Amino acid sequence: MHVWPLLFLLLQAPLPPQRPNLNAGDMAPDLTLPSTATGDVKLSDFRGKKSVVLAFVIKAFTGSSTQEVQAYQAGIQKFEESGCQVFGIATDDLDTLKRWAAELKLTFPLLSDSDGKAAQAYGVLMETHKLAFRTTFLIDRDGRIQYLERGGAAIDPAGALTACAQHSAGGH
């Protein structure tokens, strides 16, 4: 087995850009993205008004992403009662997201991050595939991240809903 050529190539490959390591308490990067609802959505427009759930999904029309947005739809009334605005975000183009939202009868907006800049700012961009890692952020009315969940556990929005309810009950 000849591993030396492979090892040499790996050592010569440029290091991927460092992803931001966002944590609870950090200010959320602002974003402006086209929405499946109406026009563009600017995150900073929600400051002082509502907490925001940003649910980065991997790809429209895929099994786990469909399961995730359907779970948000099933609990959307509870999110709204907690004072939280839910947005799904994917690197798909807006037309694809509009078709997906219509097919699933979603009542919350999906945001198109087709250039991957929002995913990159949030540290969730898979550079090689231009897709987002599944990650959920709860951003409070002051623009700070209060909760985040990464990976397969983020398919179930129960953690985000609990964080919304706790944060709302905390007087924010």
Q: How many residues does this entry show for the chain?
A: 172
pTM of the model: 0.85
Which CATH class, in words, describes the domain spanning 22-169? alpha beta
Mean pLDDT per 10-residue section of the chain, whose length is 172 residues: 45 45 91 94 94 96 94 96 95 97 97 96 91 95 94 92 80 46
The CA distances from residue 6 to 11, 13, 56, 109, 127, in Å, are 9, 11, 34, 45, 21
Q: How far is the C-alpha of 62 from the C-alpha of 160, rounded, in Å?
A: 21
